[in-house]
Amino acid sequence: MAIRIIVLEPDEVLHKIAKEVTKITPNVQKLLNDMADTMYDAEGVGLAAPQVGILKRLIVVDVGDENGLIKMINPELVASEGEQFGPEGCLSIPGINGDVRRAETVTVKGLNSDGKEITITGSGLLARCFLHEIDHLNGVIFTDIAEKVYEQIPERLGKE
Catalytic positions, written as ranges:
133
Q: 78-102 burial, b if ≥16 CB within 10 A, otherwise e?
A: eebeeebeeebbbbbbeebbbebeb
> Following DSSP, what letter does each residue of 31-88 receive, concatenated?
HHHHHHHHHHHTT-SEEEGGGGT--BSEEEE--SSTT--EEEEEEEEEEEES-EEEEE
User: Which residues fall in the annotated binding site for Fe cation?
Assistant: 90, 132, 136
* Strand order, beta sheet including 96-102: 84-88, 96-102, 148-151
Tell which residue, 25, 9, 17, has the closest CA to residue 49: 17
- Whole-number Å distance between alpha carbons of 111 and 124: 22
Q: Return binding residues.
A: 90, 132, 136
